[in-house]
Amino acid sequence: MSNVRILQVAAGLGLVIAACSSAERPPFYVATSVPAEGGASSGSSGGVAPRTGAPEEFIKSFCGMVGACCTGYGRNTDGSPCRAFVDQGGPFDPLRAQACLDQFSALTKLHPLACATFQSSDCVLAARGTTALGATCTRDTDCAPSDAGVPRCRSVCTLERRGKLGETCTRTFALDGSQSLLNGAVEADGYTMCWEKDGLVCDATTKKCGPVHDLGKPCDPFQLECGSGAWCPQETGATCSAPLAIGGECLPTTAVPQGHYCDAGGYCDATSKKCKALDAVGAACAQAEGFKCVTGTCNGSSKCATPVEAKDLLLCGSR
């Protein structure tokens, strides 16, 4: 997969939560009837006493999505593995919670069975970091919380701000989990991402958050200005183009990320130069070609494979 597409998945059982006012509550707060994992609509999971209020709504939302993904591995779970991962105590940060939901949704949109190894520190309700902005760090969870954005470790602690219309930006975070190349310098106090989920992209010309470009509008192939529902050819005078149907002719380049050429569930095959459906588990692939596989993983035997063995499905329960 091109280095233009960097999946925003933080590995490991990280921890960090920041305080946030009720005015900053993210969209998932309105979803009070999201099914719990395994299809249950309410109640506790796996014998773990549920929290009340905002944290419980988040847990139900996240574990509901996880449960839907786990069924792709033949797993029916009561929700306890997911809840145990998420609910490790500590304060609740709506900004991180929304980032968690958006990351998971983006990853499974690109690879429907990617739930197997998803573990983002943004999803864990746990202790706060203490390292100040500008100080040396090794992971996101080292950094102290801030009302101004989500703490991130980029050698030193900095802030990732979710951009609003008209704000100066550095890059775009696409619906499919990829992000554009840097479109401006990272400031000392952090950087601003325009989220396609909010209907915004980081405009290559203005370097400000603006609406996703319409089909036919001029675009920069390195900036994901066309959004996940279209793509920008690497050519002079490029304009946003509609994704191609399976079987449509395409020409993969280093500028255009896989997943943008073809309709959802497809990729641009370099050999046939046509859009193909994602390959099933067991199909032949090269190790750098995980993007061809429905799981997003090509193993050491050059076969599309599940990211982990069934016994290691971290967020899914027993059969």
Distance of CA 37 to the CA centre of its chain: 20
Residue 173 belongs to a domain: no
Structural domain of residue 260, as residue ranges? 243-306
- Reading the chain (319 residues) residue by residue, the pLDDT tens digits are 332 232 222 222 222 222 223 333 333 322 222 233 333 333 333 333 444 456 888 888 888 888 887 777 777 667 788 888 787 766 677 777 888 888 888 777 766 776 766 767 777 765 467 899 999 998 887 888 788 888 888 889 999 899 999 999 998 988 767 778 777 666 767 889 999 989 999 998 999 999 999 999 999 888 889 887 788 887 778 899 888 889 988 877 765 666 667 887 788 888 898 999 989 889 998 877 888 888 777 888 899 887 655 555 667 766 5
Q: Using the 3D structure, point to which of 128, 153, 170 is the last residue of a domain.
A: 128
Secondary structure (3-state) at 181: coil
Q: How far is CA 231 from CA 218, 242, 243, 249, 267, in A?
A: 11, 7, 6, 14, 13
Residue 152 belongs to a domain: no
Which pTM value belongs to this model? 0.62
Q: How many domains does the chain have?
A: 2
Residue 180 belongs to a domain: no
Q: What is the pLDDT of residues 268-302, one digit of tens each?
A: 888 898 999 989 889 998 877 888 888 777 888 89
Packed helices 94-110 and 54-70: angle between N→C axes, nearest 10 degrees: 10
Q: Using the 3D structure, point to which of 113, 128, 143 is the last residue of a domain.
A: 128
Q: Using the 3D structure, point to which of 79, 109, 128 is the last residue of a domain.
A: 128
Structure tokens at 229: 């529902």
Instruction: Determine the residue type at 14.
Output: G
Residue 198 belongs to a domain: no
Residue 256 belongs to a domain: yes
Q: Which own/partner pairs from 234-243 qualify as long-range (CB within 8 Å, at least 24 positions apart)?
A: 239/215, 240/213, 240/214, 240/215, 240/216, 241/215, 242/215
Residue 154 belongs to a domain: no
Residue 238 belongs to a domain: no
Q: What is the pLDDT of residues 88-102, one digit of tens each?
A: 766 677 777 888 888
Judging by beta carbons within 10 Å of its beta carbon (0-12, 13-18, 19+), is residue 148 exposed, middle or buried? Answer: middle
Rg, the chain, Cα only: 20
Residue 133 belongs to a domain: no
